[in-house]
Amino acid sequence: MAESPLRDAERMMRDGRAGNRHLSERKDLVTQTANIAARGKTRPPITDPLSKEYWTRERLAWLEEAVNDNNDLYADYSAGGERVDSYQGSTSDLVRRLKGLPEWAGLSERQAHRAVVIGLARLRRDGEDAWDLLPSNELNGLSAEDDFVAGWKQLRVGSNPDALRNAVEKAKASPISWSEELIERLYPVSGKFKVFCDVCIYLQSTVGGDGYILLPQHQLAELLGLKQSGISSFCQRAESGGLLEKLDGSYSRTQRKAIRWRCTRTWCREEAKTCS
């Protein structure tokens, strides 16, 4: 029997409501999925090196490249036979690179050891000793592991000549983008004064915000192509502008006691491209 026009209309209305309900449910599901994806994208990155989640695919690729470069540099250094210019441990370049990352700069040698083991083990993958990825120190008989711990502790005091030379090289090759506020405070900013200030910022990043740095004026003057008095003038300008704070102003060349400074700025992550 054919349905009445009234029942026909009621059935069509029910079907329409059901279709709208299914469409609404699908839209809700899409919205929920998009929200979950958005939350995943905006989740702040893990910045604790002691966390396993810190070692993303990108960071592991960076670590692998840093390990390979470290090994090549130490091999060249060992083959060259030059020991007078500067000391080079078997893990020195890796230590310097890690110290250049703000989240690593303030770690103790024990913390840095635990953190890098996580990354090296992820690179090794076969369960063997992760430190085999790095060379032993042929000059003093230290294993790669012991060399790393010794190098990390030595670089923390901010007085290692290699740390100073590395900071100068970074300041020249990778100038730091300053905030407008910092530019105004240190104005006028000439080319050499900018390099000097960037050296201070890079050095501070190796010891953390609470550490101190040394600015040996004769060595720094030679590296920057200035006179000692020029470095002294730059220190005064940076102090007046609030970039440098004098923690211990006592100085004795005979006792090899240098002025201890703290730079009020540290180097930001490479992707940030700024320092404020």
Domains of the chain (ranges; CATH) run 52-156 (no CATH), 161-263 (1.10.10)
- The number of beta carbons lying within 10 Å of the beta carbon of residue 149 is 17
What is the pTM assigned to this prediction?
Answer: 0.51
Asked if residues 262 and 249 have their Cβ atoms less than 8 Å apart, the reply is: no
pLDDT of amino acid 128 = 87
Asked if residues 265 and 243 have their Cβ atoms less than 8 Å apart, the reply is: yes
Burial class (CB in 10 A: 0-12, 13-18, 19+), 6: exposed
Burial class (CB in 10 A: 0-12, 13-18, 19+), 214: buried
Asked if residues 260 and 92 have their Cβ atoms less than 8 Å apart, the reply is: no
pLDDT of amino acid 71 = 93
pLDDT of amino acid 196 = 96
What averages of pLDDT result for each successive group of 10 residues across the chain (276 residues)?
A: 54 57 48 48 67 91 92 84 60 86 80 94 88 90 93 66 80 90 94 95 78 86 93 95 87 61 76 40
CA nearest 207: which of 128, 100, 123? 100
The tokens describing 88, both together, are 């080079």
pLDDT of amino acid 52 = 85
Distance, in Å, from the CA atom of 175 to the CA atom of 201, rounded to the nearest integer, reads 11
